[in-house]
Amino acid sequence: MSYRIIDDGHISSPQGYRATGVSAGLKEVKSRDLAIVYSTKPARAAAMFTSNAITAAPVFFDQAVLSRNRDAIRAVVINAGHANVATGQQGLTSAIDCAKIAADELEVPRDAVLLLSTGRIGTPLPMDKMRDGIRRAASELDSGGGRRAAIAILTTDTKPKDRALALSLREGGSIIVAGMAKGSRITAPRQSTQLCVLTSDVSMDAGLLARSLEQAAARSFGRLVLGGEASSNDTIVLLANGAADIAPIADASSWEFGAWQEALEIVCADLMQQVVRDAAGGGKIVQVHVRGAIEEEHARMIARTVAKSAAVRRACAQANGEWGSVLIAVGASEADLRADLLEIRIGTVTVLQEGIARPFEQAAAVQALSGGEIELTIDLHLGTHTAVAWTGTSE
């Protein structure tokens, strides 16, 4: 596969997309806080939503829209400052009104608009500000506005997160995959990151697109563990408008689909890493690698349990070489394992082998824990399945 990262690429880098972000006065500190991503052509859509039983009005709204229209989405409206959750019927009415305003301004069908919200829980959307912001954003859309959109969706984040990648296909054509994300201190997605929008000019059946997104999310955002609970607003949306001059990708076993899938996963993994680095702030990034599991699900269980462990993150933050917390987290995961086969490494330093503590250079372990990025490896020596989880330690 031949691909390249687009310098200064953003959500509107693929053909046929426009975007912007404006200040609508939705956040306490004046900044861009409302974004629109617009496709000049009807786009097929795939989406994944929070696993939390408490869902925000925009999540409920999007699920309803996508149940009847996955083939002709035209716009995504994202607001920061107000999550529009725990707002009852008023919140749903506000979501419907926002979609109507955007549809009218963009001159698209009302069931062609999706909504994402993030911010304070339990406060109604200030509809006068939303109305003015949507109208202004709709009038300022352009193909170079992706970075403004990425800035507008931030809440506790310290920097925008976006990426665009160009993929060359065998027939000489090319497609672009792009994305933007937000998510910082409270992110523990089982299905998606806190908020993420992905765009492409590829042409693909909606069912195949959904399958592609699910796999890409599982291999990227699904490995992210920061905080304790999934947000009520967690959403990933993927739009594919077919604006690139290439044949539609219709076969999941084709070379073209494999190349597309790799490109999508690269973009998603890049965005996920930007989220975890921002969440860590001046702290450390921790990668938990689990190998040798009987089943992939067991590997994931262990990786997530270790990554969620406050004791593990504290040991990593303090760089004290204390590895017992890792062992305890592995045992608490409820995954299948044999203690007499277990191996644990901190960086390249083996601290446990065949279930028995091994002598090691304390200074080497401390050094492995002292950098900005730490690798913890747990090898079960039971099978061939693996999993990775990412987490971070705050400053």
Same domain, 261 and 317: no
Q: 46 and 124 share a domain?
A: yes
Domain's final residue, options 225, 257, 280: 280
List of E strands, the chain = 2-5, 17-22, 34-49, 73-82, 113-120, 161-168, 174-182, 195-200, 235-240, 284-293, 343-346, 349-353, 356-357, 373-379, 385-393
> Beta 195-200 vs 235-240: how paired, if at all?
parallel
Residues carrying an active site annotation: 193
> Domains in the chain: how many in total?
2
262 & 353 share domain = no
pLDDT digits 0-9 by tens, 226-241: 655 667 889 999 999 9
The predicted pLDDT at position 32 comes to: 96
In this structure, the answer to whether residues 90 and 27 fall within a common structural domain is yes
Q: Quick one: 271 and 290 in the same domain?
A: no
Integer Cα distance of 375 and 286 in angstroms: 6
What would the two tokens of residue 253 be? 């076993």
173 and 93, same domain (yes or no): yes
Q: What's the one-letter identity of residue 237? A: V
Shared domain for 229 and 97, answered yes or no, is yes
Q: Which of 280, 308, 333 is the last residue of a domain?
A: 280
Residue type, 114: L
For residues 119 and 148, state if they share a domain. Answer: yes
pLDDT for res 236: 95
Say which CATH number the domain at 336 has: 3.10.20.340
CATH of the domain at 84: 3.60.70.12
Each residue of 80-92: pLDDT tens digit? Answer: 999 999 999 999 9
Q: Same domain, yes or no, for 18 and 130?
A: yes
What is the pLDDT at residue 223?
A: 80
Name the amino acid, one letter, at 50.
Answer: T
Q: What is the pLDDT of residue 224?
A: 79
pLDDT of amino acid 392: 82
> What is the predicted pLDDT for the residue at 221?
86
The 10s digit of each residue's pLDDT in 191-204 is 334 799 999 999 99
Q: Are residues 333 and 231 in the same domain?
A: no
* Domain-ending residue, one of 233, 258, 280: 280
Is the domain of 77 the same as that of 36? yes
Write down the pLDDT at residue 78: 98
pLDDT for res 37: 98
In angstroms, the CA 200 to CA 11 distance is: 9
pLDDT of residue 1: 57
Residue spans of the chain under pLDDT 70: 1, 184-193, 226-230, 282, 394-395
Whether residues 256 and 359 fall in one domain:
no
User: Which residues form the domain of 195?
Assistant: 2-280
